[in-house]
């Protein structure tokens, strides 16, 4: 499938590790050169999408200390102009167990204001970092998972723990709250756990991830999607997890990647999409729950219908280096991708996607001349065979 999406690009000037989109459509890019004297700053940049000028316009930014790590993940508050990101402190503070890596920022019209900080990683090694972070739909809780296996859940905006840290044994790849906000999914390589967001009690565990053919795999991402037609916020706790759950499996042999859709009421797989031979490196689900996107190690970018998992668009060579982050814009009108190559692309998405039949007809029209040539060649071959006989 050939890319038909309009795209414009921002040269961010730093490797992009994470992307967030706020409730008003503001785009936040996080990343940098990390600790040391690389000359590449550690930043959080706030941008506005301008479709008329076809650009991401810088609104304001916060430059973090070069003695500390760059932001490795961030989550935008679902209702307020605020975010929580994770950026490790310096090596000395980490060694002392004083790594207040969680950092709250509020977004002003012309400045990014720093707020509360908190520790969410148990490790005293500067090798470990927080890989993933997510807000509950109401914004009252924030959860993060780290490479040392620490699962932290805190109240917003105080960042005070909701309950003691949970040890997941191995590194946590992704976290996600369900539509009610009462339940939390945490994915490690070998296990998917669904926990109560109140006290971390275990609700469901799925282990031994593998493909339908039996190939051993790892859980790379896990995201709850909203219930079709339901309220968008967790105003009432549910008796069980609600909505659907998407999991990404990367085969351990690196010869296959899959997206699975689960019905959380029965915990059965309702759809599976083979994503290709290359591992999936980034994943995003739109706020409406209608679209999902993923990027692969082979630098492909794919947009799918989240309900059927049907591929809507595929972009090859989307970046020049690893694609590290994806996010949908407000109203599902944009897809933003970030890369270690210091570039950020904004793809303009159509208001309505073509049906499978319409897409097939469009492809046929686009390749009509090729089809005609092939038919002429086939007719000539058939005539030649008939004449010989």
Round to whole Å and give the CA distance between 187 and 174. Answer: 5
Residues 249 and 329 in one domain: yes
What b/e sequence results for 334-353 when a residue is b if at least 16 CB atoms lie within 10 Å of its CB, and e otherwise? bbbbbbbbbbbbbbebeeeb
Domain total for the chain?
A: 2
Residues 324 and 387 in one domain: no
Residues 349 and 366 in one domain: no
Q: Which domain holds residue 378?
A: 354-389
Residues 248 and 366 in one domain: no
Residue 298 lies in a domain: yes
Both tokens assigned to 4: 């038909």
Residue 228 lies in a domain: yes
* Total residues found in the chain within this entry: 389
CATH number of the CATH domain containing 219: 2.130.10.10
Round to whole Å and give the CA distance between 312 and 331. Answer: 17
pTM, entire model? 0.89
* 336 membership: H or E segment, kind and range: strand 334-339
Round to whole Å and give the CA distance between 18 and 75. Answer: 9
368: Cβ contacts below 8 Å, ≥ 6 apart: none
Residues 327 and 240 in one domain: yes
Q: Do 154 and 136 form a contact (C-beta atoms < 8 A)?
A: no
Residues 146 and 197 in one domain: yes
Residue 1 lies in a domain: no
Torsion on CA atoms 26, 140, 144, 170, rounded to nearest 10: -150
Residues 345 and 359 in one domain: no
- At 283, is the secondary structure helix, strand, or coil? strand
Round to whole Å and give the CA distance between 242 and 287. Answer: 16
Residues 151 and 226 in one domain: yes
Q: Do 370 and 376 form a contact (C-beta atoms < 8 A)?
A: no
Residues 243 and 360 in one domain: no
Residues 200 and 59 in one domain: yes
Residues 186 and 53 in one domain: yes
Round to whole Å and give the CA distance between 195 and 130. Answer: 19
Residues 67 and 204 in one domain: yes
Residue 290 lies in a domain: yes
Q: Do 189 and 218 form a contact (C-beta atoms < 8 A)?
A: yes
Residuewise pLDDT in 10s, the chain (389 residues): 445 799 999 999 999 999 999 999 999 999 999 998 678 999 999 999 999 999 999 999 999 999 999 999 999 999 999 999 999 999 999 999 999 999 999 999 899 999 999 999 999 999 999 999 999 999 999 999 999 999 999 999 999 999 999 999 899 999 999 999 999 999 999 999 999 999 999 999 999 998 878 889 999 999 999 766 554 444 456 678 988 999 999 999 868 999 999 999 899 999 999 999 999 999 999 999 999 999 999 999 999 999 999 999 999 999 999 999 999 999 999 999 999 999 999 999 999 998 764 544 444 454 467 667 877 778 778 787 778 76
**In whole angstroms, how far apart are CA 123 and each of 95, 165, 185?**
8, 12, 22
């Amino acid at each position: 499938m050939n890319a038909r999406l309009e795209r414009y690009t921002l040269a961010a000037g730093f490797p992009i590790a994470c992307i967030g989109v706020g409730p008003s459509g503001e785009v936040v890019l996080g990343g940098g050169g990390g600790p040391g004297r690389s000359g590449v700053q550690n930043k959080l940049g706030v941008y506005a999408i301008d479709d008329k000028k076809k650009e991401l316009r810088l609104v304001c930014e916060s430059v973090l200390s070069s003695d500390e790590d760059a932001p490795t993940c961030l989550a935008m508050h679902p209702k307020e102009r605020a975010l929580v990101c994770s950026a490790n402190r310096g090596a000395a503070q980490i060694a002392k167990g004083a790594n207040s890596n969680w950092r709250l920022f509020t977004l002003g019209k012309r400045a990014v204001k720093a707020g509360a900080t908190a520790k969410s990683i148990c490790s005293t090694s500067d090798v470990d970092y927080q890989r993933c972070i997510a807000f509950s739909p109401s914004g009252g809780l924030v959860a993060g998972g780290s490479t040392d296996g620490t699962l932290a859940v805190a109240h917003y905006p105080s960042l005070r723990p909701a309950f003691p840290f949970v040890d997941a044994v191995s590194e946590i790849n992704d976290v996600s709250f369900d539509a009610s906000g009462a339940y939390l999914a945490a994915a490690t390589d070998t296990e998917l756990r669904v926990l109560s967001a109140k006290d971390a009690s275990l609700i469901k565990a799925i282990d031994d991830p593998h493909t339908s053919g039996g190939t051993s795999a790892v859980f790379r991402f896990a995201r709850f999607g909203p219930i079709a037609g339901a309220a968008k916020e967790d105003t009432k706790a549910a008796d069980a997890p609600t909505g659907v759950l998407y999991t990404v499996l990367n085969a351990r042999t690196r010869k296959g990647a899959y997206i699975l859709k689960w019905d959380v009421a029965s915990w059965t797989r309702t759809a599976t999409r083979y994503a290709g031979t290359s591992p999936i490196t980034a994943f995003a689900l739109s706020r409406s729950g209608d679209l999902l996107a993923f990027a692969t190690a082979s630098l492909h970018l794919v947009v799918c219908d989240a309900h059927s998992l049907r591929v809507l668009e595929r972009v090859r060579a989307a970046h020049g280096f690893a694609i590290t982050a994806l996010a949908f814009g407000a109203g599902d009108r944009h897809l933003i991708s970030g890369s270690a190559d210091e570039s950020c692309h904004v793809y303009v998405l159509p208001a309505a996607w073509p049906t499978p039949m319409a897409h097939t007809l469009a492809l046929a029209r686009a390749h009509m001349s090729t089809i005609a040539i092939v038919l002429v060649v086939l007719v000539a071959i058939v005539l030649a065979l008939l004449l010989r006989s």
